[in-house]
Amino acid sequence: EVEMHKGFECKRGALECKIFFLNCVDPRLNCEKWSKEEEIHLFKSEHQDAHRWDLVAQALPTRRAPVDALMQVQQVYCPLLSTGKWTAAEDSALRLAIQKHGAETQIPEGGKRDWVLIAQCLQSEFEVRRNEQQCMQRFIAWERKKGRWSKEEDTALLAKLAIVHPPCAQHPEGDIWGLKPEEIAKLVNWRLVCVAVEGRSAWQ
């Protein structure tokens, strides 16, 4: 993993690259809705009390990311957790919490924001019931690009698509873009493709 990290011009550490890959872009990850059988396995896991979500995910037979296991437990065990659209008051509280615990000047070189601490600040100081993943995703949404795609973004997207999904670059029945949108969506792992276009989400 260290050699892979050195091969790219980026400011991310080897461990950070590994964590991001295993939780977000590993093509083997299961992104489907949780089944009843999976939830039974999840809530019986002996590693939950130690908060070893990597071990919890490994114990599941369905290739779930550690962060997915954590979020599923939080959603089921924390019914008071807010899961709807963020309100203006929550956004304001999150910005204040980030200024207090996650400003750029407070992040050590090579480090990252402590979203657990930020979420705790939201709950204790502002009575906003959001977890660390929700806070992080909301921040990413603020940073996400909006508006029309540039030609450079289009080129990067198509190039990544051809690499990650070579069978999709030329569908057996013709050009992939000749298919219906819902058919294309089933063929492509957009979470893996979107990393090639900085600031754009899988949904975009």
pLDDT at 1: 43
> Structure tokens of 179?
């298919």
Give the residue from 123, 133, 138, 136 showing the smallest Cα distance to 72. 133
Q: Please state the φ and ψ torsions of residue 3, each to the nearest 5 degrees.
A: -65, -40
pLDDT in tens, the chain (204 residues): 444 444 555 566 677 777 777 777 778 888 888 888 888 888 777 666 666 778 888 888 888 888 888 878 777 666 677 878 999 999 999 999 988 887 766 666 656 788 888 888 898 888 888 888 888 888 878 877 677 888 888 888 878 777 766 555 455 444 555 666 677 677 777 767 776 777 776 666
Q: Please state the φ and ψ torsions of residue 198, each to the nearest 5 degrees.
A: -60, 130
Do 47 and 55 touch, CB atoms closer than 8 A?
yes
Q: Which residue has the tokens 């130690």?
A: 50
pLDDT at 87: 93
The helix, strand and coil proportions of the chain, stated in percent and rounded to the nearest 5, come to 60, 0, 40
Angle at alpha carbon of residue 154, lines to 152 and 157, rounded to 5°: 110
Angle at alpha carbon of residue 20, lines to 14 and 24, rounded to 5°: 155
pTM of structure: 0.45
pLDDT at 86: 92
pLDDT at 176: 57
Q: Give the C-alpha distances (Å, rounded to integers) separating 110 from 14, 96, 169.
A: 10, 23, 37
